[in-house]
Chain A
């Protein structure tokens, strides 16, 4: 199993550009989530999904959209990038709930100029 994969590893955007961060898992996990990691702020939840077709907002959802059309994929879309979205983004999954071990992807480092 590849586990949780994320692409790209690194991306530079200009303010106002849009892009999609990809996240996929091959473990048939129901629960998936996106976080951003910033110095001094820890991990902050952006969006999460408890199963295909179901998504909900986390702590910092503004400026980001998600969808979950399949169990395997959970892309994160930046509609109009802003410098404040410069961060490292992590995707995670678990079999069903937050009370289980979370498996993380390798992260995507995003720089918005």
Chain B
């Protein structure tokens, strides 16, 4: 069965510090890779998608096929980055069951 692991539940950093939110997945191949974010009292929304290779709000995510990881990074955290972040690698093919990690809460202190 495919698995998605976000090993940490909470990451607390000071403003301006670097951030790395980890995501590992268990299946091989070339999945579509997403990070979703949920700000306080808001709906989940797409933060970034690997295939677009964009940097959104200063965040980037690099695919490491050897380690099957898709960690989310930002060099200088801002207070407005405080939110819940979900990793969602989706295997290509006929499987239609979306899989999300358990999420990590990022808290950026002033």
Whether B86 is near chain A, meaning CB under 8 Å from some CB there, is yes
Within 8 A of A (CB), among B53-110: 86, 88, 90, 92, 95-103
- The size of the chain B interface, using a CB distance under 8 A, is 24
A104-B92 in contact given A42-B102, A45-B97 (Cβ < 8 Å): no
Checking B46, B96, B102 against A98 with a beta-carbon cut-off of 8 angstroms, the contacting residue is B96
Whether B34 is near chain A, meaning CB under 8 Å from some CB there, is yes
Residue of A nearest to B9 (CB): A40
Number of A-B contacts (CB under 8 A): 58
CA distance A105 to B88 in the complex (A): 17
**Minimum C-beta distance from A103 to chain B (A):** 8
Checking B92, B95, B101 against A42 with a beta-carbon cut-off of 8 angstroms, the contacting residue is B101
Beta-carbon contact of A105 and B43 below 8 Å: yes
**Minimum C-beta distance from A76 to chain B (A):** 15
Name the B residues within 8 Å of A107 (CB-CB): 43
Interface string of A28-49 (1 = CB under 8 A from B): 0001010100001111010010
Checking A40, A41, A92, A98 against B97 with a beta-carbon cut-off of 8 angstroms, the contacting residue is A98
Which residue numbers of A lie inside 8 Å of B, CB to CB?
31, 33, 35, 40-43, 45, 48, 50, 56, 58-59, 90, 92, 97-102, 104-107
Which residue numbers of B lie inside 8 Å of A, CB to CB?
6, 9, 32, 34, 36, 42-46, 49, 86, 88, 90, 92, 95-103
